[in-house]
Amino acid sequence: MLAIAVSRPQKCAGFTDAIASKLGSYGTTEFFQDVAMTFITEIKTFAALGSGVIGSGWVSRALAHGLDVIAWDPAPGAEAALRKRVANAWGALEKQGLAPGASQDRLRFVATIEECVRDADFIQESAPERLDLKLELHSKISAAAKPNALIGSSTSGLLPSEFYESATHPERCVVGHPFNPVYLLPLVEVVGGKNTAPEAVQAAMKVYESLGMRPLHVRKEVPGFIADRLLEALWREALHLVNDGVATTGEIDDAIRFGAGLRWSFMGTFLTYTLAGGDAGMRHFMAQFGPALQLPWTYLPAPELTDKLIDDVVDGTTDQLGTHSISALERYRDDCLLAVLEAVKTTKEKHGMAFSE
At 242-288, the pLDDT tens digits run 999 999 999 999 999 989 898 888 878 888 888 888 888 888 877 88
User: Residue 212 maps to which CATH number?
Assistant: 3.40.50.720
In-domain check, residue 261? yes
Bridge-partner residues for 306, per DSSP? none
Residue 309: which residues within 8 A CB-CB, separation 6 or more? 239, 242, 243, 303
In-domain check, residue 25? yes
Assess whether 17 and 156 both reside in one domain: no
| pLDDT value, residue 109 | 98
Classify residue 319 by burial, with Cβ atoms within 10 Å: 0-12, 13-18, 19+. exposed
Query: Could you tell me if 49 and 177 are in contact, meaning their C-beta atoms sit under 8 angstroms apart?
Result: no
Residue 259: which residues within 8 A CB-CB, separation 6 or more? none
Structural domain of 167: 45-217
Residues of the chain with pLDDT under 70: 1-37, 299-300
Rounded distance, CA 62 to CA 36, Å? 26
| pLDDT value, residue 132 | 96
| Host H or E run for residue 210 | helix 198-210
**If we measure between CA atoms, which residue out of 180, 132, 152, 128 comes closest to residue 47?**
152
For the question of whether the overall pTM of this predicted structure is more than 0.95, the answer is no
**If we measure between CA atoms, which residue out of 68, 61, 143, 148 comes closest to residue 110?**
68
| pLDDT value, residue 271 | 84
List phi, psi (to 5°) of 69: -125, 130
Residue 230: which residues within 8 A CB-CB, separation 6 or more? none
DSSP E strand boundaries for the chain:
45-49, 68-72, 107-109, 122-125, 150-153, 173-177, 187-192, 214-217
Assess whether 67 and 21 both reside in one domain: no
Rounded distance, CA 234 to CA 184, Å? 23
Task: Name the domain boundary from 150, 185, 217.
Answer: 217
**Number of domains present in the structure of the chain:** 3
| pLDDT value, residue 265 | 85
For residue 118, what are the CA distances in angstroms to 3, 48, 143?
19, 12, 9
| pLDDT value, residue 37 | 61
Assess whether 288 and 187 both reside in one domain: no
| pLDDT value, residue 17 | 42
Assess whether 32 and 49 both reside in one domain: no
